[in-house]
Amino acid sequence: MASPIGHAAVGVAVASVVARATGTESSAPLWIGAIVASGIPDLDFVFPLLGFDRRYHRNASHSLFLIGAAIALGFVIARHAAPEFTMGVLLAWTASLISHPLLDVFTTGPTLGKIGWGIPLFWPVSRRRFFVTRSIVGDRPEGVTLDDTLREMQDDARRIVPICAAVVLLTFLLR
């Protein structure tokens, strides 16, 4: 389970790679949009805060099918309502959004996986929840308190951010 810092770092890194590949200029909307997109699936955390079961978190919003549908809808809306955003920017945001559930899979180890916190990538077609036997951030236990989240953010800043920063730097050097 990655923290917001881990998601933002990976979101910016993949957006940077896509921007480089599509010849998209660096801009504030590109980077801010990438950070926002990287966190969108976790907006489902509001359900538990509203009194719903904690299991509403990491559910439908982490399905590649639903995310794909949201992206398709987002493209249609953006083409009409915000034509100033180029295809390169939209693709960079798309990559950032898709990175979210995939990073969650690779940061969810057996401890979380066994208690049902894997990622339902193919919901509603399949209810299987994906996780890995060797998470890239170690086998984290369930984060419940604010302290847990802060600890995970620190850990992600140490383990994930430097790699992502290197990727971003490389894409700039290769321009």
Using CB under 5 A as the criterion, which residues of the chain lie in contact with Zn ion when the complex forms?
41-42, 104
**At which residue do the structure tokens 């794909």 appear?**
68
**At which residue do the structure tokens 């984290």 appear?**
140
The nearest distance, CB 62 to Zn ion, in angstroms, is 6
Can you count the helices (H) and strands (E) in the chain?
8, 0
The nearest distance, CB 110 to Zn ion, in angstroms, is 18
Kindly tell me which of 11 and 41 has the beta carbon lying closer to Zn ion: 41
Kindly tell me which of 10 and 18 has the beta carbon lying closer to Zn ion: 10
What contacts 158, CB < 8 A, 6 or more positions away?
none
**Taking a C-beta distance cutoff of 8 angstroms, is the pair 120, 129 a contact?**
yes
The nearest distance, CB 41 to Zn ion, in angstroms, is 5
Exposed e or buried b for every residue in 27-62, given b needs 16+ CB within 10 A? Answer: eeebbebbbebbbbbbebeebeeeeeeeeebbbebb
Kindly tell me which of 90 and 112 has the beta carbon lying closer to Zn ion: 112
Kindly tell me which of 7 and 20 has the beta carbon lying closer to Zn ion: 7
The nearest distance, CB 54 to Zn ion, in angstroms, is 13
